[in-house]
């Protein structure tokens, strides 16, 4: 009897053990499946993220290249030189020249006889609106009056050397204000920004203000104001410079202004550098 009971207990224990082992294996499989599913989900998410990052990178790269291409195209258009043509002196019949003593020289010794000159020794962007100038064929008046009562097809501006002692940022703002004012008054006119003429090496090397380093700086900045659509930059220094980029001593006596006889050559150069 006792043996039967003992045998029965052993059988029960064995059955309990088998059931426990099966349950453990089943739970392990379930847990393993959960882990594998989590890992699969994680890997899938990582692949999605990686693919998205690659897609974003490609899109960003393409956008950057597009922007760079547009910027380069715009900059190229802005910096491209206008196509030149040679014109007769009648081209200047409706032209206005605004400038300092160098422009006075063109007025007096050049041969653009029908052009109008609003020029004065010492003129600058700081006083151009205040100056009362005796304009041949017109009379004594201010710039605003001249631009109000007479229409021009071309307007040439050569200012900057008398401004070298001023703050360049302020000078450029004044220059922009002048251009804006001219465009408001003469919306159909072509505007030529003329580079300031260099001085000789002798003058440049001994003058802390009026020297070719400063002249090149102001010329470079005002050249950026040209849009090559209605405003154009022209540089006569190619005509009068020596091999070192200074005003050639052959053209001047005072190291700043050219001889009177060369202003006709300057007039010819202007005729050869008109906008086509």
Q: What is the pLDDT of residues 112-141, one digit of tens each?
A: 989 999 999 999 999 999 999 999 889 999
Region 26-47 average pLDDT: 45
**Three-state secondary structure call for residue 257:** coil
Q: How far is CA 188 from CA 144, 223, 233, in A?
A: 16, 21, 17
Q: How confident is the model at residue 13, as a pLDDT?
A: 62
Give the rounded percent of residues in the chain with a pLDDT score beyond 90. Answer: 68
Q: Which position has the token pair 């006709």?
A: 264
**Alpha carbon distance 274, 84 (integer Å):** 5
The predicted model scores a pTM of 0.72
Q: Using one digit for the tens of pLDDT, what is the confidence trace for 235-271?
A: 999 999 999 999 999 999 999 999 999 999 999 999 9
Q: Which residues of 236-247 are buried (b: 16+ CB within 10 A; e: fewer)?
A: bbebbbeeeebb
Handedness of CA 22, 24, 28, 31 (dihedral sign): positive
What is the pLDDT confidence band of residue 80, given thresholds at 50, 70 and 90? very low
Q: Using one digit for the tens of pLDDT, what is the confidence trace for 184-212?
A: 999 999 999 999 999 999 999 999 999 99
User: Which pair of tokens denotes residue 86?
Assistant: 């040679």
Q: Which position has the token pair 């017109």?
A: 138
**Three-state secondary structure call for residue 22:** helix
User: Which pair of tokens denotes residue 54?
Assistant: 């690659």
Q: How confident is the model at residue 69, as a pLDDT?
A: 40
Kindly report the backbone phi and psi dihedral angles of residue 211, in degrees, each rounded to the nearest multiple of 5, phi listed first: -140, 165
Report which of residues 43 and 168 the model is more confident about: 168
Dihedral of the CA atoms 144, 150, 156, 162 (nearest 10)?
A: -30
């Amino acid at each position: 009897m006792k043996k039967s009971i003992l045998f029965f207990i052993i059988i029960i224990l064995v059955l309990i053990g088998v059931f426990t082992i099966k349950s453990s294996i089943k739970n392990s499989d379930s847990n393993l499946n959960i882990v594998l599913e989590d890992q699969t989900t994680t890997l899938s998410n990582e692949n999605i993220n990686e693919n998205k990052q690659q897609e974003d990178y490609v899109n960003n790269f393409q956008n950057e290249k597009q922007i760079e291409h547009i910027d380069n195209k715009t900059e190229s258009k802005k910096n491209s030189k206008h196509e030149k043509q040679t014109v007769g002196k009648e081209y200047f019949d409706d032209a206005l020249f605004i400038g300092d003593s160098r422009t006075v020289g063109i007025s007096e010794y050049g041969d653009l006889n029908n052009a109008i000159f609003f020029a004065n020794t010492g003129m600058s962007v700081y006083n151009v609106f205040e100056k009362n100038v005796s304009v041949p064929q017109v009379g004594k008046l201010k710039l605003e009056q001249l631009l109000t009562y007479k229409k021009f097809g071309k307007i040439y501006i050569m200012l900057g050397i008398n401004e070298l002692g001023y703050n360049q940022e302020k000078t450029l703002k004044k220059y922009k204000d002048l251009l804006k004012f001219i465009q408001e008054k003469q919306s159909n006119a072509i505007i030529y920004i003329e580079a300031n003429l260099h001085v000789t090496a002798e003058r440049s090397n001994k003058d802390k203000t009026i020297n070719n380093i400063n002249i090149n700086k102001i010329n470079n900045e005002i050249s950026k104001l040209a849009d090559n659509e209605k405003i154009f930059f022209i540089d006569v220094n190619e005509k009068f410079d020596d091999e070192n980029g200074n005003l050639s001593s052959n053209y001047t006596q005072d190291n700043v202004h050219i001889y009177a006889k060369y202003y006709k050559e300057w007039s010819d150069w202007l005729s050869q550098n008109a906008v086509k």
